[in-house]
């Protein structure tokens, strides 16, 4: 499964591929199984078209959105991805400075090769108000989770993203083929060091285990930081998550790296948005590559969207500058699409504007019938 990666960010992926050892490129690019979910994330956007509205007047336009009591300049954030120092020696610090400079919030996580304290410091060097969230998996030892939360809070993260789509690790076909299963010497998951139960200096492995709602409840009781549940695809889970006090949901199939049979994130989004019914913000990621993808996701109920691989490509090819330019260009592209759709604000984009290519019909909202 080391097939060619094509698609709308091919021009970014290709320089990154040339820059990186094959097994590292494949780790970033690859998905689980036959990579169906991975491909579908982008393809599903390609099957949707936007119906522009006309003669809506007003030259003023803003792409700003409010997420968890903060004003973001654009409905866009960097999704958590592992091992940025495999992409570039400056790693997550470069990504953090670039995202802050572009006005794009960053989610760093337990699989970062730079500690959360250093990531937040790099972002804040650039912009004292930069938004940084911390992504974690619930740990089977609750005191490990407690310590990770404490570190994120002390570093200055303003929300926690809890990824719950990984009761077991996805079968990443390319990694299995390449025999890639560890970071090279000199690189480590810095956040996993010096935790309860770890050997001095050695990071704990990142656990994939079948956590339950009770584990999440324990975390909810433990912290006042807003909790964002990542990896929700079923509307019933979305309802439970809201009842359990989650502050936001992130609709995601993990970039096609977990359940290969999962739908594209954008296909799962409308039913989750319906189930949540505006009670908390719904975010999404997976396959977002252009301004029109952002507009489509917003019209279907997302407050903001996350970007995974393209940030890694920009980082690998051109470091901090590459990431800043990429995110700035994506923001501008969204603003352009918003204008062409007749919108003045992101919330002007509505579900009636999204139709299926070839049929011009509204896509189904996708609520399971049983």
Ligand X SMILES: Cc1cc2nc3c(=O)[nH]c(=O)nc-3n(C[C@H](O)[C@H](O)[C@H](O)COP(=O)(O)O)c2cc1C
254: annotated active-site residue: yes
Asked whether the beta carbons of 51 and 355 are under 8 A apart, the reply is yes
What backbone torsions phi and psi does residue 236 show, to the nearest 5 degrees? -70, -40
SS3 of residue 49 by DSSP: strand
Cα 247–224–294 angle (5° rounding)? 30
Q: Which of 24, 84, 88, 254 is catalytic?
A: 254
SS3 letters for 143-193? HHHHHHHHHHHHHCCCCEEEECCCCCCCCEHHHHHHCCCCCCCCCCCHHHC
Nearer to ligand X among residue 250 and residue 337 (C-beta): 250
Are 146 and 160 contacting, i.e. CB atoms less than 8 angstroms apart? no
- Residue 331 near ligand COI by CB under 6 A: no
Pick between residue 16 and residue 349 the one whose CB is nearest to ligand COI.
Answer: 16
Contact 227, 219 (CB under 8 A): yes
**163 belongs to the binding site for ligand X (CB under 6 A):** yes
Asked if residue 24 binds ligand COI (CB under 6 A), the reply is: no
Site string for ligand COI, 268-287 (x = CB under 6 A): --------------------
285 binds, among ligand X, ligand COI, none (CB under 5 to 8 A by kind): ligand X
**Counting contacts by CB under 6 A, is residue 259 touching ligand COI?**
no
The answer to the question of residue 189 lying near ligand X (CB under 6 A) is no
Q: In whole angstroms, what is the distance from residue 214 CA to residue 364 CA? A: 33
Question: In Å, how far are 25, 39, 172, 210 from 33, measured between CA atoms?
Answer: 17, 12, 6, 20
158 binds, among ligand COI, ligand X, none (CB under 5 to 8 A by kind): none
Q: How far is the CB of 8 from ligand X (least distance, A)?
A: 11
3-state secondary structure at position 68: coil
Give min distance, CB of 108 to ligand COI, in A: 12
The DSSP letter of residue 333 is: H
Among positions 195-224, residues that touch ligand X (CB under 6 A) are none
Residues 8-67 that bind ligand X (CB under 6 A): 28, 41
| Residue 252 interacts with which of ligand X, ligand COI, none, CB < 5 to 8 Å by class | ligand X
Q: Does 250 bind ligand COI (CB under 6 A)?
A: no
As a whole number of angstroms, the distance between CA 249 and CA 266 comes to 14
Query: Which residues are marked as active site?
Result: 254
Give contact residues for ligand COI (rule: CB under 6 A): 82, 111, 206, 254, 257
Give contact residues for ligand X (rule: CB under 6 A): 28, 41, 79-82, 109, 111, 135, 163, 230, 252, 254-255, 257, 285-288, 307-309
């Amino acid at each position: 499964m080391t097939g060619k990666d094509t698609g709308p960010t091919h021009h970014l992926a290709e320089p990154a591929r040339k820059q990186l050892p094959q097994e590292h490129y494949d780790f970033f690019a690859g998905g689980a199984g036959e990579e169906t979910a991975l491909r579908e994330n982008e393809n599903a956007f390609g099957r949707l078209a936007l119906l522009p509205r006309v003669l809506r007047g007003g030259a003023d336009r803003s792409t700003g959105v409010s997420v968890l009591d903060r004003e973001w300049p654009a409905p866009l954030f960097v999704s958590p991805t592992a091992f940025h120092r495999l992409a570039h020696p400056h790693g997550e610090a470069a990504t953090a400075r670039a995202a802050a400079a572009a006005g794009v919030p960053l989610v760093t996580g337990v699989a970062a090769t730079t500690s959360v304290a250093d990531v937040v410091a790099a972002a804040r060097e650039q912009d004292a108000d930069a938004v940084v969230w911390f992504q974690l998996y619930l740990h089977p030892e609750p005191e490990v989770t407690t310590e990770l939360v404490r570190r994120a809070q002390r570093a200055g993260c303003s929300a926690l993203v809890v990824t719950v789509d990984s009761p077991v690790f996805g079968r990443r076909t390319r990694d299995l083929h390449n025999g890639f299963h560890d970071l090279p010497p000199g690189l480590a998951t810095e956040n996993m060091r010096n935790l309860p139960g770890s050997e001095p200096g050695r990071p704990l492995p990142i656990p994939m285990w079948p956590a339950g709602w009770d584990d999440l409840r324990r975390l909810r009781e433990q912290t006042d930081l807003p909790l964002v549940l990542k990896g929700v695809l079923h509307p019933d889970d979305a309802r439970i998550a809201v009842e359990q006090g989650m502050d936001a949901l992130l609709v995601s199939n993990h970039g096609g790296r977990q359940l290969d049979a999962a739908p594209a994130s954008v296909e799962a989004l409308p039913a989750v948005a319906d189930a949540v019914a505006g009670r908390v913000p719904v975010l999404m990621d997976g396959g977002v590559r252009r301004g029109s993808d952002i507009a489509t996701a917003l019209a279907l109920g997302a407050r903001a969207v996350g970007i995974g691989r393209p940030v890694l490509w920009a980082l690998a090819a051109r470091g901090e500058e590459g990431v800043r330019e990429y995110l700035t260009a994506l923001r501008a592209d969204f603003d352009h699409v918003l204008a062409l759709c007749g919108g003045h604000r992101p919330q002007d984009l509505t579900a009636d504007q999204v139709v299926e290519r070839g049929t011009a019909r509204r896509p189904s909202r996708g609520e399971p019938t049983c």
